[in-house]
Structure 1
Amino acid sequence: MIALVIIITLAHSYFGFEQQFLQTQLTGKFKYLNRVLRDNKRNPQYTQGFTFLNDDTILESVGLYKKSGIHYIKLNDVNTFQHNQNLDDQFFGEGCDIINNKVYQLTWLERKIFVYEKEDLQYIGQINLHPSIKEGWGLTHRVFNGETQILISDGSGKIHILNEDFQLLKSIQIFYGIIPVNYLNELEYANGILYANEYRKTHIFAIDLEKGKVLAKYNFPDLVKEANRPDGCLNGIAFNQKTQTFWITGKNWPFIQQVQFY
């Protein structure tokens, strides 16, 4: 019994040390840059997917049943939608990405992937999500060893890696130190690092996908507070290749914030 107590005490001590170490070592530094305001009272957008088409145009997927859709917005006119496409009422829009000159949009419980023309978002067709992926949440892609790979989150702590035909290659559990993370949501891949927000939290993880571990944690409680939305958690990460900065937003947020990560 005494040995068991000692083991438990040591385990708790190690766990506490691990948490303290991670807080000091993995806290990501960042700087706020520009902010673009949105009219979320007259035209709220339940942002689910967010990625750049070019230097000033963002592809945005929005959710909720009977309100889901996909469109482009320009940073100098974020309240005007370009090539807006609404989903049928039975679909809940989720993550989106532009892959090899086509646009892909996940749906949540329906587990469909809609495919569109990149130029005008005209509907092309749909793909069924792989059976091993329980729900559609976040979507991005990377080029790895010369091949395009699709990265999908499903509300767990796993990232699912698929080939260009959306066939599953493997699934990777992500860890924050020794602790498995959960509820990974919106995804963005940039400069060899996967960025993901955790649902209903105020932070974005920078993830080493090969090692399955968090490299840094960027926390934005002030932005969530300023957004002032009871349903408005952080949920939009778009990387601008030209400026090497991120534009982040959330569900029904009244602004999009440009951020420089360090």
Structure 2
Amino acid sequence: MLKENLESVEEKIQEACKKSGRNREDVTLIAVSKTKPVETLQEAYDLGVRVFGENKVQELTEKYDSLPKDIHWHMIGHLQRNKVKYIIDKVDLIHSVDSIRLAETIDKEAQKHDLIANILVEVNVAKEESKFGLMPEEVDGFIDEIANLKHIQVKGLMTIAPFVENPEKNRTVFADLRKLSVDIAKKNVDNVNVSILSMGMTNDYQVAVEEGATMVRVGTGIFGARNYAQV
């Protein structure tokens, strides 16, 4: 089942790249493995998956200790400041930075480990009350404010689009995030590189790729329905 699911997702990403005139190499597939046991992740690893996304710090650290060390871990869920220290030296990328205080905490913990933490700024493009993230009009000022932190580097933007039956409804959300990244890139802010656009999940990643996603976060499409009893 896992092998077939991965092949299906891969095929759809390739289709979307072809449709939008993009190279497949420009899109990173993040296997969202929250609530899934280590055995399932190992199976995905054996099938070639090397990039995994986790929502919870405790789950990420436990899996980090149990699985091969060439895995690239991404923290994609909401991150509390008091949990940053547990993952700062374990993750390649933190997708969900949406406050000055969180950025400052990441900077401080990264300094302790003498590393540069790569982050994405989370944007609530659709302005949903239930979602985390900055409003689009806040992003410019936010980036200006955190650009001088020496131990983080802004690598791009992330959004969680609304859950919709018809993925076409999210096309404007993805297009708006891409436009925002273009506007930020034009400003040439030091220490800011907005080459990454993390957008699109199981139900809409093809549309996201067509609109410029460089990372898609696919969980159910790869692993099947989540077991919430384990959350």
Same fold by TM-score, threshold 0.5 exceeded? no
Answer 1 or 2: higher relative contact order, Cα 8 Å, separation at least 6.
Answer: 2
Larger radius of gyration: 1
TM-score by length of 2: 0.31
TM-score by length of 1: 0.29
